Amino acid sequence: MENINFKQNKLFIEKISVEKLCKDYGTPLYVYSKKNLIEAFNRINDNLKKLDRLLCFSIKTCSNINIIKILKEQGAGCDIVSGGELYRALKAKVAPEKIVYAGVGKTAEEIEYALKSKILMFNCESIPEIELINKIAGKLKTTARIAIRVNPDVDAHTHSKITTGKKENKFGISIDIVADLYKNIKKKMKNIEIYGVHCHIGSQITEISPFEKALDKVLNLIDELEKCGISIKTLNLGGGLGIQYMPDKKPIDIKKYGQMVSSKLQNRKLKLILEPGRYIAGNSGVLLTKVIYVKETTVKKFAITDAAMNDLIRPTLYEAYHHIIPLKKSNKKEKYDIVGPVCESGDYFAKDRELPKVQSGDYLAILSAGAYGFSMSSNYNSRPRAAEILVDGNKSILIRKRETYQDLVKPEQI
Ligand SMILES: *Cc1c(COP(=O)(O)O)cnc(C)c1O
């Protein structure tokens, strides 16, 4: 993460001391760097400048309205996967014609909400879904722009829980039958406007080749459709751009990605849509936590923190690595399991991690927590959700209040 650095032995996010943030706002605390969000967005954008393009931030990665607004100001649209996300995108004043909607289980209510909001298009994942969209568009006397989400059967070489473009995954429609489906839609579904082709093969992909294989397959499909008189306006290559989590592992080479995509699309009339999420938000956020106790057993040392799996579920859900830095330096090293207070053995951030020695009361920064961090957090064990802070230069802004006990029970009826 470029905007989180040590200066004179103290950790800073942009120009603010991380320790000061912990003391001012309390822990657990999510902190995002505005500069990092903008820089990551523009790294993708700048590497595609030869192309007609729309970058739709995948808001499930980091859904705070203030974060969406920052990216909107850079020109981003939104990739949404639910009615709730549409509501958020509209609250952030994202133009509806920059919103694309994916997901295998869109309900009739959600489809109607999206049509009435005049979003750019639906990325459709099944035949019954397309039939329902056609029916609802007819009822509303409008036409629905769609892309079919193609499942290209490409291995993204990523964790099995975040691979989405293989035949056995629930996502998309097999590329083998998609051409016939488009022809059928054109013939039979009057309220559907065929607009694009979509594919999203998975997340945290650090190699170019899976994207290239998927893109080649999709371009072949588009050529085949062209021959049958079906002209495609947009090609959506989804998200999936991988970031650096481990100090010795490399992120995707965004320059090479840009070159590969640009060379294949430069001489075509297609508009490119991308849906990056993790690449923009992942290394723009950290989770700060305080060590409550250090507990020693005969076999292990546990650093027990005030953050838990309900705040950041990635380690236990995806066996994900997050780099962890104690804010206080120490020359002595120890091995710890870093765990939260939740009543689950799966409640951990790291196992057997060597760290500078920590004590009760010390703060830890859990890095690369900006994507799929707060947005996947829950109230499990009746734990109020953490606060969210945005850092902008030497300013810090509270963008989500820490939840209270009253918040926990608010919707319950007694
Ligand atoms: C989750 C998702 C994305 C974002 O993926 P990242 O790996 O975070 O970039 C993009 N498109 C769709 C359809 C998704 O479901």
Cβ(373) – ligand 1 distance below 6 Å: no
Q: Is residue 288 part of a domain?
A: yes
* One-letter amino acid of 136: I
Question: Who's near 163: CB < 8 A, 6+ residues apart?
Answer: 155, 156, 169, 201, 202
Q: What is the 3-state secondary structure (H, E, C) of 228-256?
A: CCCCCCEEECCCCECCCCCCCCCCCCHHH
Q: How far apart are CA 41 and CA 386, in angstroms?
A: 25
Q: Are residues 341 and 224 in the same domain?
A: no
Domain CATH for 193: 3.20.20.10
CA of 282 to the centre of ligand 1 (A): 12
The answer to whether residues 345 and 315 belong to one domain is yes
Domain boundary at 240, 274, 308, which? 274
Q: Indicate if ligand 1 lies below 6 Å from the C-beta of 198.
A: no
Domain count, the chain: 2
Residue 354 domain flag = yes
What pairs with residue 4 in β-bridges? 13
Q: Which of residues 239, 274, 309 is at a domain's end?
A: 274
Residue 368 Cβ inside 6 Å of ligand 1? The answer reads no
Q: Which of 212, 240, 274 is the last residue of a domain?
A: 274
CA of 238 relative to ligand 1 center, distance in Å: 6
Do 107 and 211 share a domain, yes or no? yes
**CA–CA–CA angle 156, 162, 165 (5° rounding):** 45
Per-residue pLDDT of the chain (414 residues; tens, 9 = 90+): 678 888 878 899 999 999 999 999 999 999 999 999 999 999 999 999 999 999 999 999 999 999 999 999 999 999 999 999 999 999 999 999 999 999 999 999 999 999 999 999 999 999 999 999 999 999 999 999 999 999 999 988 888 887 888 888 889 999 999 999 999 999 999 999 999 999 999 999 999 999 999 999 999 999 999 999 999 999 999 999 999 999 999 999 999 999 999 999 999 999 999 999 999 999 999 999 999 999 999 999 999 999 999 999 999 999 999 999 999 988 999 999 999 999 999 999 999 999 999 999 999 999 999 999 999 999 999 999 999 999 999 999 999 999 999 999 999 998
Instruction: Tell me what pLDDT residue 212 has.
Output: 97
39 within some domain: no
Give yes or no for residue 239 CB within 6 A of ligand 1.
Answer: yes
Site to substitute for ligand 1 among 63, 68, 79, 80, most atoms within 8 A of C-beta: 79
CB 60 less than 6 A from any atom of ligand 1: yes
Which of 5, 68, 74, 91 lies closest to 390, judged by CA?
68
In a domain, 96, yes or no: no
Residue 262 included in any domain = yes
- Residue 202 alpha carbon, nearest atom of ligand 1: 7
**Judgement on whether residues 120 and 257 belong to the same structural domain of the protein:** yes
The pLDDT, as a whole number, for residue 1 is 65
Same domain, 112 and 256: yes
Given this model, what pLDDT does residue 342 score?
Answer: 98
308 and 337 in a common domain: yes
Same structural domain for residues 335 and 389? yes
Q: Which ligand 1 atom lies nearest to the CA of residue 81? A: 15
87 located within any domain: no
64 CB near ligand 1 (under 6 Å): no
Task: Report helix, strand or coil for 178.
Answer: helix
pLDDT for res 167: 81
**Active-site residue numbers?**
343
Residues 261 and 328 placed together within one structural domain of the fold: no
Residues 163, 232, single domain; the answer is yes
What are the structure tokens assigned to 293, written together? 């106790």
* Ligand 1: centre distance to CA 17 (Å): 32
Domain that holds residue 258: 103-274
pTM: 0.97
Domain-embedded: residue 78:
no
Q: Could you tell me if 267 and 286 lie in one domain? A: no
- Is position 255 within any domain? yes
Structural tokens at position 119: 């979003």
Same domain, 342 and 378: yes
How far, in Å, CA of 86 to CA of 88, rounded? 5
Return the pLDDT at 6: 81
HSE-up (13 A, CA, CB side) for residue 183: 11
The CATH number for 339's domain is: 2.40.37.10
Q: Whose CA is nearest to atom 10 of ligand 1?
A: 239
Same domain, residue pair 234 and 299: no
Ligand 1 proximity of 285 Cβ (cutoff 6 Å): no
pLDDT score, position 161: 82
